Amino acid sequence: MGTHNIESLEDIIEFLDYTSLALSDNSKSIQAKCEDLLLLKKTNYSNRQFIASFCTFAEYGGIVRRFLKEAGINNSVVAGCFPTGQMPLDIKLREVAYAVNYADEIDYVFSIGKFLGRDYDFVSRELQMVRDICEGKTLKIIIETGELLNSENIAKACELCLLNKVDFVKTSTG
C-alpha cells in the first residue's frame, strides 16, 4: 500500500457535499447537524476551505443558510422529484423555483426515463429550463449512472448537460 500525503487527502474535503436526506430529518435535526459542522470547522479547519456544501431538502435550506452562511459554507438542496425524477416536468420546475429561494446550489434529478426513451430533445429542453430558473446558482444534475446502462448513455447525458451549461454532473442520488 502506498503512502499518502495527509495534506492532499485533507484537500479532498473541499470537494465533498455533506448530505442529510433522511426521511427522519426535521428542523431540529438539521440545526443540530449545522452546529456540529460549525464546531468541526472551528476545531479542525479554521484556516482552510471546508466542505463544498451542506445538501438537504428545500424545506430545510433556509435553516442551513442561516447557520452556515457566515462560516462560508454553501447550502444545496435537492429538486426535480428527488430521488427518482419521475414527475411531470411542470411540477419539477415549480419545485426548482421554490428551491432556488433557499439554496446556493441545486441538485436536480433529470428525467432518466425520457432519456432512456431517447427523447433527447425533451431532456435538453428540461435542462435549459432548469438552468434558466437557476440563473446565478450552481446547478448540479444527477444523471444516475447506474440506470443509464452503458458508457454511451453516460457520455450522451454528460453531453446534454454540457450543452445546457450545467455546472456539475453527479453520478447518482446516493
pLDDT at 7: 65
pTM of the model: 0.89
pLDDT at 46: 65
Q: What is the mean pLDDT of residues 64-69?
A: 94
pLDDT at 50: 80
pLDDT at 37: 92
Q: What is the mean pLDDT of residues 167-174?
A: 89
The band of 5, judged by pLDDT with boundaries at 50, 70 and 90, is low
Please name the residues in contact with 138: beta carbons below 8 A apart, sequence gap of 6 or more.
Answer: 74, 76, 104, 105, 106, 167, 168
How many whole angstroms separate alpha carbon 162 and alpha carbon 169? 9
The beta-strand segments (E) located in 6-45 are 17-19
Give the torsion through C-alpha atoms of 108, 114, 119, 124, to 10 deg. -10
Report DSSP letters for 58-123, one per residue. Answer: GGGHHHHHHHHGGGT-EEEEEESSTTT--S-HHHHHHHHHHHGGG-SEEEEE--HHHHHTT-HHHH
pLDDT at 149: 92
Percent of the chain past pLDDT 70, that is, above it, reads 91
Mean pLDDT of the chain: 92
**What are the pLDDT digits (tens) for 140-168?**
999 999 999 999 999 999 999 999 999 99
**Least confident piece of the model among 11-15, 56-60, 97-101, 109-113:** 11-15
Is the torsion defined by CA of 52, 57, 62, 67 positive or negative? Answer: negative
SS3 132: helix
pLDDT at 9: 65
pLDDT at 137: 97
User: What is the distance in angstroms between the CA of the first residue and the CA of the last residue of the chain?
Assistant: 28
How many whole angstroms separate alpha carbon 90 and alpha carbon 100? 16
